[in-house]
Amino acid sequence: MQDKQYNVDELGMPQLSVALSKELKRFDGRLEDVPAWGGASSGMGWVFRPINTDQLAEVFAIAHKTDLSIGLRGGGNSYGDAAYNSNGIVLDLCRFNRVLDWNPETGVIRAEPGLTIHQLWEYTVEDGWWPPVATGTAKTTLGGCAAMNVHGKNAFKVGPIGDHILEFDLMLPSGEIITCRRNENSDIFFAAIGGFGMLGCFTSITLQMKRVYSGLLDVVALASTDLSVMFEQFRALLPTSDYLVGWVDGVASGNGLGRGQIHKANYLEKGVDPYPEQSLRVDNQNLGDTIFGIVPRSIIWQGMRLFTNNYGLRAANLGKYAVSYATSGSKIRQPHAQFHFLLDYVPNWKKSYGGGGLIQYQPFIPRDSAENAFKTILRTTQRHDLPTYLGVLKRHRPDAFLMTHGLDGFSLALDFRITQANRQRIVRMVRELDEIVLDAGGRFYPAKDSTLRPSVATAYLGADTIARFRELKQRYDPDSVLQTNLWRRVFMTP
């Protein structure tokens, strides 16, 4: 693509194709500023929203004709620049979202890539099937989830979503569609899952759902007085948990460093829920108009804004901590949707971060070095006076996907509020954090990334892995049609 786009004459001046620009003028109406989910960055591109494979193939043809690259986009829930493509085409797959086949006996579903996790569970839950892996928001699409190989709060037990994908169809930039399974086109199966949309566009995905015998989960909340305690609790609880997640207070320091709360959840066994038909009803999964009892949903984010200045943040975490300490060990029954997607029910909660948006930093660190590394990371954010509002601790397991972020260890997801004034400081701090992660043998996750540099990516993935991925890209996308800002920033130039 470099040569194609940069036709320069012998004196280094670009040679313009006026005909090409006339072609492009036809698409002026499609020019949109496409944002990162975190809102801290964006890129302008020509957005197409195809509804089927024919329209999809047309967009690939337009790209060939206009020499533009294509960035694929699902629900746009990647925090950084993984799902936009400045000065190129953005192929938004949200309307390409039908269920193609559903078998309520086996729990195998085949659907188009734009189907959201929300649409997915609403479709299957009354038959007693839940998505095997659920992200923290249900606005993600099947295609986006496969492309990032997302994980849930059960990653330690069931792995990433790729471990539950039985088969997919992939449209290559040539327009050809290939079917991939573990044992058919297997190299591309293991590279396109987790390949952040760089090898082709999923056109259908076949997923094995998880059988559930109730619409409710048993949820236990436990206080953790510091990060060591939280790790201790994780080790103790993992064998008996279906889901396990830790909420870390990023502000607490000294003896309380990394204190927080653990949520452990378990499925109800068959027969425990006397009327599963009722608890599985969509209406009983979705929340009402208020959460936390009395606060109307639409004003919650304004309250949350208070917590994002450092002072309010301290108070908020202290409050949450105190409550969990008092109720430590208390057990509640919660609908699946409520347990997984609470934030979706708080309209515009992102606004609580202010106009500059937010980024997330989520390192994955091997089991034995994780605790110390995370402590160092928390201390570093505090030393830079850039503590995180909320940290989320999860346990993972290794998987067989080429560009994987998974490993036998833990991840800690940290949200940082971005302002005009703190960008530089955040960048400097992240450089330090990157070193800590690399020293501990850690990995990073493109879905959450806004800061990765090529050298760091090479260090965690290994030059061989990246070379292998480039080789596949060269084979399936020889003209580098598929590109996103993330790809150009981190992987395109060696």
Partner 1 sequence: MPVQPSRPLEPKQRAIVVGASSGLGAALVSTLAQKGVLVAAVARRREQLEAVCTPFENARPYVHDVTNYEEVPALFQQIVSDLDGLDLIIYCAGIQPAVALDEYDFQKDRAMMETNVIGAMAWLNEAALRFHRAQRGHIVGISSIAGDRGRAAFPGYHTSKAALSTFLESLRNRLAKRGVTVTTIKPGFVDTVLLENAPKTFWVVSPDDAAQRIVAAIEKREQTVYVIGRWRWVMLIIRHVPSFIFRRTSI
In the complex, minimum distance from the CB of residue 141 to ligand FAD, in angstroms, rounded to a whole number = 3
Quick one: which of 18, 294, 326, 421 contacts partner 1 (CB under 8 A)? 18
Question: Of these partners, partner 1, ligand FAD, none, which one is at the site of residue 17 (CB under 5 to 8 Å by kind)?
Answer: partner 1
Q: Which is nearer to partner 1, 67 or 127 (CB)?
A: 67
Question: Of these partners, ligand FAD, partner 1, none, which one is at the site of residue 447 (CB under 5 to 8 Å by kind)?
Answer: ligand FAD
Residue 197 contacts ligand FAD per CB under 6 A:
yes
Let me know: does 169 contact 53? Beta carbons within 8 Å. no
> What would the x/- binding string for ligand FAD be over residues 118 to 137, using CB under 6 A?
-----------------xxx
Residue 493 contacts partner 1 per CB under 8 A:
yes
In the complex, minimum distance from the CB of residue 233 to ligand FAD, in angstroms, rounded to a whole number = 20
For residues 418 and 80, what is the distance between their CA atoms, to the nearest angstrom? 12
For residues 405 and 393, what is the distance between their CA atoms, to the nearest angstrom? 15
In the complex, minimum distance from the CB of residue 448 to ligand FAD, in angstroms, rounded to a whole number = 6
Residue 450 contacts partner 1 per CB under 8 A:
yes
Spell out the SS3 assignment of 110-129. EECCCCEHHHHHHHHHHHCE
> What would the x/- binding string for partner 1 be over residues 346 to 365, using CB under 8 A?
-------------x------
Residue 290 contacts partner 1 per CB under 8 A:
no
Ramachandran quadrant class, 24 (left: phi over 0; alpha: psi -120 to 50; beta: rest): alpha
Name the token pair of 177. Answer: 């569609």
> What would the x/- binding string for ligand FAD be over residues 148 to 167, using CB under 6 A?
x-xxx---------------
Let me know: does 53 contact 171? Beta carbons within 8 Å. yes
Element (H, E) at 34: strand 31-35
Name the token pair of 131. Answer: 């998505």
In the complex, minimum distance from the CB of residue 285 to ligand FAD, in angstroms, rounded to a whole number = 18
Quick one: which of 43, 45, 50, 74 contacts ligand FAD (CB under 6 A)? 74
Residue 97 contacts partner 1 per CB under 8 A:
no
Residue 141 contacts ligand FAD per CB under 6 A:
yes
Q: Which range, of 39-47, 201-209, 247-255, 435-443, touches partner 1 by CB under 8 A?
A: 39-47
Q: Which is nearer to partner 1, 79 or 339 (CB)?
A: 79
Let me know: does 166 contact 108? Beta carbons within 8 Å. yes
Residues contacting 250, CB < 8 A, separation 6+ = 317, 378, 381, 382, 387, 388, 389, 390, 391, 414
Question: Of these partners, partner 1, ligand FAD, none, which one is at the site of residue 144 (CB under 5 to 8 Å by kind)?
Answer: ligand FAD
Question: Of these partners, ligand FAD, partner 1, none, which one is at the site of residue 77 (CB under 5 to 8 Å by kind)?
Answer: ligand FAD
Spell out the SS3 assignment of 259-290. CEEEEEEEECCCCCCCCHHHHCCHHHHCCCCE
For the residues of 211-228, what is the DSSP string, one character each? E-S-SEEEEEEEEESSHH
Q: Beta strands of 93-200 (E only): which ranges?
A: 99-103, 108-111, 129-130, 165-171, 177-180
Let me know: does 347 contact 298? Beta carbons within 8 Å. yes
For the segment 21-50, give every residue that binds ligand FAD (CB under 6 A): 37
Q: Which is nearer to ligand FAD, 72 or 313 (CB)?
A: 72
Residue 28 contacts partner 1 per CB under 8 A:
yes
Residues contacting 94, CB < 8 A, separation 6+ = 49, 74, 75, 114, 141
- Of the candidates 114, 104, 1, which has an alpha carbon nearest to the alpha carbon of residue 48? 114
Strand-pairing partners, residue 482, are 70
Q: Which range, of 38-46, 53-61, 169-177, 215-223, touches partner 1 by CB under 8 A?
A: 38-46
How many positions of this chain bind partner 1 (CB under 8 A)? 41
Q: Which is nearer to partner 1, 67 or 242 (CB)?
A: 67
Name the token pair of 434. Answer: 């990157």
Let me know: does 90 contact 73? Beta carbons within 8 Å. yes
Q: Which range, of 42-50, 78-86, 223-231, 322-330, touches ligand FAD by CB under 6 A?
A: 78-86
Q: Which is nearer to partner 1, 38 or 260 (CB)?
A: 38
Q: Which range, of 42-50, 177-185, 251-259, 438-446, touches partner 1 by CB under 8 A?
A: 42-50
Question: Does residue 334 sit in helix, strand or coil?
Answer: strand
Binding site for ligand FAD (CB under 6 A): 37, 71-78, 82-83, 93, 113, 135-137, 140-141, 143-145, 147-148, 150-152, 196-197, 201-202, 343, 447, 484
